[in-house]
Structure 1
Amino acid sequence: MTAVTATATPDRARAVTVFAGIAHFFNHLVEPAFYVVALVLPTAFGMPYEAVLPLILGGKILTGLAAPLAGWLADRWGTLTLMGIYFFGMGLAIIATGFSQAPWQMAVALAAWGLFAAIYHPVGIAWVISASARQGKALGVNGVFGSLGPALGAVMAGALIDGFGWRAAFVVPGLALLVTGVLFTLAARSGNVPAGEGRRKDAAATADTAPAGWQRAFVLLALSMICGGLIYQSTQAALPKLFDERSVGAALSGGVLGDGAFGPGLAVMLVYGFAAVMQVACGMLADRYPLKWVYLGTLILQAPLLALATFASGLPLLGAVMLMVMLNTGSFPAENSLIARFTPSRWRGTVFGGKYLLSFGISSLGVPMVAVLRGWTGDFTLLLSLLGGAAAFAGLILLLLPDPPERG
């Protein structure tokens, strides 16, 4: 994409906030929509629920595997070019998903979605960081958009399924992405969106070498990111069915919503909507308090909430899951800020690509884990117990994390 060179003035920095936020919203909208659609696909495709979930696995794996390549390309081709490819490529892939006539076609279309979805996190997050004076708050605001994706994606999918059929749950957001891509292209060509060289850089980021202790930091952060990503991916896949089986939708409405897809979708919306509101607060905590302890706290506190969710049902289950997801997504501003502190700026795209290889690639194993464990046990009790153990492990190993360098 050819664009007029633009520096990150306040107005242009706001343009980064808007477009990066919208991109983050769509990045997290499709997957939860699929998990709600999965409630009706057994009837549409004549296959069991446990066989429907793996249809998205190829896309999820590609989202992680292609992330380092996307970050590497962004460091060479530029952020704006990659973001333009993201909007148009993902929009077309989602529309193709909606026109699938067989399970294999949906799997291929979702694989294409995953390939283009891989662009956002290594490119978009590094873009937000480089264009922001207050990284924690900026990442928190960006995280709000990301959390609104699962929130609105689930309830939108439920409403579209009940009103127009499951195909509309993919075609409508795909068309919206294409429109956004056109607006982004026009703004980039006119110079109203900066590439994101930034107004202030961290002392560590401006150095030619990484700070002392970076090897240990990256190993510990990698382990914690795998655990946190596994919790995020697994719960996102399981929540619609978990809420459906444990009567959360019925408890919310007093039985008015019946047995349709809208009830579980509404419950998922409340979970991620609450998490979205709290991400700004978590981002501000990351700006104000030591990053290590903010990050550690958001991870280890998920363990008792997952333990409660293991046996709860109805509204108590909804409350436990709301708090757990708030902490899980609230860990992202501190996590991304820690990575930025330990990484020279010229390698940020590549390093963030590596991060999302872990959190979306390896952690995408959470989806087949949900299918296997539920097929084996008939419920989600063992799954939630294992995820609680992962949260406790992640928090404890972060006690060994070195203190990050100060910002300049």
Structure 2
Amino acid sequence: MALNPNDRAIARFTMLGHGLVHWFELSIPIFLVTWHSSFDVSLATLGFIISLGYAPFGIGALPAGVLADRFGPKRLVLACLAGMSLSFMALAVANSVYLVGAALIGWGIAASVYHPAGMALISTGASQQGTVFAYHGMAGNAGIALGPFAAATLLYFLDWPLVAALLALPAVVGFLYGLRAEFDTTAAVDSDVDTEDEEALTLSGFLSNSRRLLASAFLVVFVLVAFEGLFYRGVLTFLPEILQGLPAMEGIELTAGLTGIEPGDYIYVGLLVVGIAGQYAGGKLTDRLPVERGLAGIFVVLAVLALAFVPVSNLGIAAVVVLCGVLGFFLFVIQPFYQVAVAQYTPPDSRGLSYGYTYLAEFGFGAASIAVGGFVLDQFVLGAFFAVLASFALVGSGLAVVLLVGEGRIDFIQRYETEPAD
């Protein structure tokens, strides 16, 4: 079924925003080598400065969700685009590593706004949520791939300040387009739902809405997303290094023109590209399959793929490529399922806050797997790392089963409709 005009307008607007968030996010590490030589600072210092930029990206999701409920999601997405472009323009004129850090912190604050606001917009405005989430996810994966590619290519020809300014231009275009974009932000919910709640910014409003959410089946969804984040972040953080150290990669050399690029990097990028197809398939499946069943099944598949990684990697390079392709597909096919689950287990007028909690779980709590994974890889064999990832996925599957058998969505709706507001 084709999208209606309102759904198409929302899809275009959110696809642009989602792609640009990840365009900037993945371009930042490409500047690291240039900053290392330009400012004569250690990699440890640069790593700390870059982490200061990434930290607000996850931490800011919860307050951004509150702002989305107060001011409406479209305004927040526009503020995100403006803030990201201004931050990279500031980066272009930074003449010290401290100003680079300040510009990156500005980017992280602006970028943190997008996911709660964009997801809230789709969940309240799009009638075909699954399909719009699919296109939305595909755009995010495109940004993941194109951002670092554009940055690396431009840095080959131009100085880094000019490259930073050029990378900001698409967000300027996106902001100008967004100002003219027209769509109904509440087309998918009852007409009397207030998506710009003045009480959302008050402490009592925040606590009341949070209590209602976390006292319902949404708490299960929240923990489920945290375990998905643990699996997701663990895989994407350590897989490039793991691929380089596999016996199957020994003896594989690239041409002289590609010096400095590891063969495993191409497999990793291929995994992200396959994820575009996974996002689309996942979104379409949410229109045909109960999200609880989909989540339970996909988590099991991820657990099996994790446990199979080491044995399959011993079968040669072809087996590694196929396994990583399948892993990339299912790693991203799950995302539209939990995004739709949030919409189904939360009330429309707290949707921004709901997605704020969701991406706090995904980007905030999920980042814990970086520390856990690093410890396990340092102290134990590779199989132990993938066993830990498999355990995360199995817990996620169990939580999906809890949703499936508990009829939590019906319980939530009934409680929300009958419980008086504070």
Is TM more than 0.5 here?
yes
Counterpart code for 1:116:
A
Q: Is the aligned partner of 1:33 residue 2:36?
A: no
Task: Specify the alignment match of 2:166 in structure 1.
Answer: 172
Task: Specify the alignment match of 1:398 in structure 2.
Answer: 400
Q: Is the aligned partner of 1:130 residue 2:124?
A: yes
Distance 1:298 1:272 in 2: 18
Distance 2:38 2:323 in 1: 33
Q: What do residues 221-241 of structure 1 show as CA deviations (whole Å, max 9, x unaligned)?
A: 222211211232333333444
**Contact 1:240-1:265 at 8 Å conserved across structures:** yes
**Contact 2:130-2:286 at 8 Å conserved across structures:** yes
Q: What do residues 261-308 of structure 1 show as CA deviations (whole Å, max 9, x unaligned)?
A: 596664443222211122121111111111101012222311232334
**Contact 2:267-2:324 at 8 Å conserved across structures:** no
Task: Specify the alignment match of 1:5 in structure 2.
Answer: none
Identity among equivalent pairs (%): 20
**Contact 1:227-1:394 at 8 Å conserved across structures:** yes
Corresponding residue SS for 1:194: coil
Distance 1:404 1:297 in 2: 18
Q: Is the aligned partner of 1:160 residue 2:162?
A: no
Query: Where do 5+ consecutive residues of structure 1 fail to align?
Result: 1-8
Moved more, 65-74 or 319-328: 319-328
Q: TM-score, normalised by structure 2?
A: 0.78
Moved more, 356-365 or 103-112: 103-112
Q: Is the aligned partner of 1:362 residue 2:393?
A: no
Change (3 A) 1:379 1:93: farther
Change (3 A) 1:32 1:349: same
Task: Specify the alignment match of 2:273 in structure 1.
Answer: 273
Distance 1:52 1:252 in 2: 31
Task: Specify the alignment match of 1:71 in structure 2.
Answer: 65
Alignment counterpart, residue 12 of structure 2, candidates 13, 18, 21: 18
Change (3 A) 1:252 1:218: farther
Q: Structure 2 matches for 1:3-402, cutoff 5 A?
A: 10-38=4-32, 52-97=46-91, 100=94, 103-164=97-158, 170-185=164-179, 187=180, 192-200=181-189, 215=215, 217-243=217-243, 254-255=254-255, 258-261=258-261, 266-310=266-310, 312=313, 314-367=317-370, 376=378, 383-401=385-403, 402=406
**Contact 2:151-2:167 at 8 Å conserved across structures:** no
Corresponding residue SS for 1:80: helix
Query: Where do 5+ consecutive residues of structure 2 fail to align?
Result: 196-208, 414-422
Q: TM-score, normalised by structure 1?
A: 0.80
Moved more, 231-240 or 171-180: 231-240
Corresponding residue SS for 1:288: coil
**What displacement does 1:331 show?**
1.2
Moved more, 212-221 or 231-240: 212-221
**Contact 1:309-1:320 at 8 Å conserved across structures:** yes
Distance 1:378 1:259 in 2: 32
RMSD after superposition:
3.8
Moved more, 172-181 or 332-341: 172-181
Give the number of equivalent residue pairs: 389
Task: Specify the alignment match of 2:199 in structure 1.
Answer: none
Structure with max Cα Rg: 2
**Contact 1:257-1:263 at 8 Å conserved across structures:** no
Moved more, 15-24 or 95-104: 95-104
Distance 1:271 1:348 in 2: 31
